[in-house]
Structures are given as C-alpha cells and as structure tokens.
C-alpha cells in the first residue's frame, strides 16, 4: 500500500485497465474530459448495484458537463459484462484484477465486518479534471445521494 495518500490537487495516477467493451482505458486517453473514477468492492452486491444504478440514471447529466463515469473493482471483465447486462449500465467498468490501480489511489484499506478485520476496497470516488489533476476525493462513500454530490462539483 502507498505510504502517502494522494490528495486533492495532486496529479492523478495514470492507469491502463481492460474495460467491459473489450478495450483498454487509460487516464492519459481521457485528457480534456472530467473523469469520475469510482472504486467499489464487488459487482452485483446491494450497495455496489445501488451506486452503479445511480450513476447510470444520471449519466446524461454528467455527459452534458463533459464528464465520463468509470467504475473500478477487482472483478473480471466477464463479471463486469454480466453486471452491466443485468442492470443496463451505460458506462464502462474497468477490471483491476491485480489491484494495482486500486492501491495507487489508496482505495485498498483495512476493513472490518462482523468483528473480523480484512483488506478490501473502500468505496471511494475521485473527480479528475481535464488536465489530469484530482479536483475532489470522496472516501468511505455513502451511496445515497453520492452521484448528486459528485455532479455538483463539476463546473
């Protein structure tokens, strides 16, 4: 895990990850656009489904502000394809099966559930400006209303 976490104003770490559309997506390839990069624990689980569907439903609003939404988890491209098909998601999901990008963004954290401690993906969102700098960070996201919080940060 990184010894120092990235902060607002820092250059966003580049990535090059396979997407559900069969192509690889890199941050460098998105220069000139606002990027909503959100990390989530697992495809087709209640909280992750609710978050993905919220971004799906508000994608047209984001598009009007030149923003793309990308979801990232450790799930495979095949898992992402099923998740997208089941819920008609209209944005790309990226497969970080090694967890390298998740770690670069500091979204791999110690978590606890039912008294057990483990490492896992902390629900986090990064708003990256068109120059590739981090404009806003949300960590330990609460799903309800989150997409609206993100949208309000866009100029």
Mean pLDDT confidence for 120-148: 93
Query: Is 127 inside any structural domain?
Result: yes
Question: Over 60: is that where the pLDDT of 143 sits?
Answer: yes
Would you put residue 22 in left (φ > 0), alpha (ψ -120 to 50) or beta?
left
pLDDT value at position 2? 43
Query: Is 119 inside any structural domain?
Result: yes
Question: Over 50: is that where the pLDDT of 134 sits?
Answer: yes
Query: Is 146 inside any structural domain?
Result: yes
pLDDT value at position 18? 98
Domain count for the chain: 1
pLDDT tens, 7-27? Answer: 999 999 999 999 999 999 999
pLDDT value at position 1? 42
CATH number of the domain enclosing 106:
3.40.30.10
Average pLDDT, the chain: 92
The beta strand positions in 13-133, using DSSP E, are 16-18, 24-26, 34-39, 67-73, 92-95, 108-113, 116-121, 124-128
Between CA 145 and CA 147 the distance in angstroms is: 6
Give catalytic status of residue 53 as yes or no.
Answer: no
14 token code pair:
């580049």
The residue among 19 and 116 whose pLDDT is bigger is 19
Question: pTM for the full model?
Answer: 0.91
pLDDT value at position 121? 87
Catalytic-labelled residue, pool 12, 27, 48, 93 = 48
State the residue range of the domain holding 118.
Answer: 16-152
Q: Residue 113 — very low, low, confident or very high, per pLDDT cuts 50/70/90?
A: low
pLDDT above 90: percentage of residues in the chain: 83
Query: Is 40 inside any structural domain?
Result: yes
Query: Is 71 inside any structural domain?
Result: yes
């Amino acid at each position: 895990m990184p010894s120092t976490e990235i902060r607002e104003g820092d250059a966003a770490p580049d990535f090059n990850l396979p997407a559900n559309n069969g192509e690889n997506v890199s941050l460098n390839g998105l220069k000139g656009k606002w990027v909503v990069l959100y990390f989530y624990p697992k495809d087709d689980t209640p909280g992750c489904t609710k978050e993905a569907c919220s971004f799906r439903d508000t994608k047209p609003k984001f598009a009007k502000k030149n923003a793309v939404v990308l979801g990232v988890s450790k799930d495979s491209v095949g898992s992402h394809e099923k998740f997208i098909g089941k819920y008609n998601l209209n944005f790309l999901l990226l497969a970080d099966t090694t967890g390298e990008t998740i770690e670069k963004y500091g979204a791999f954290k110690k978590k606890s559930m039912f008294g057990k401690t483990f490492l896992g993906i902390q629900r986090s969102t990064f708003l990256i400006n068109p120059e590739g700098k981090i404009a806003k960070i949300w960590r330990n996201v609460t799903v309800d209303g989150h997409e609206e919080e993100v949208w309000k940060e866009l100029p």
